[in-house]
Amino acid sequence: MDNRAAYEAVKGGRLWGYGLNETWEHPDLVLDGVNTIMSPHVGSDTDRGKGRMQRMTAVTVAAYLDGKTPQYVVNR
């Protein structure tokens, strides 16, 4: 995603708002008064979230090693 372009679109009124799942690395683009919301990509950074990711990874690897198609496949 081109954050600078999205910022300009919101600032110029062509886009109502912008949500991103990362930190803002554009100190020259001031966010005051701009409809933005951001999360620094830590939504799953809990013991429960990490446990679920670890289990999902183990199940996926085991399925692959058993010759099965894993449940979550990006490219087929």
pLDDT digits (tens, 9 = 90+) for 31-54: 888 888 877 666 667 888 889 889
Long-range contacts of the stretch 3-9 (C-beta < 8 A, 24+): 4/29, 7/34, 7/36
Residue-level pLDDT at 13: 92
Instruction: Kindly state the tokens that stand for 47.
Output: 């013991």
Q: Report the predicted TM-score, pTM, of the whole model to 2 decimal places.
A: 0.49
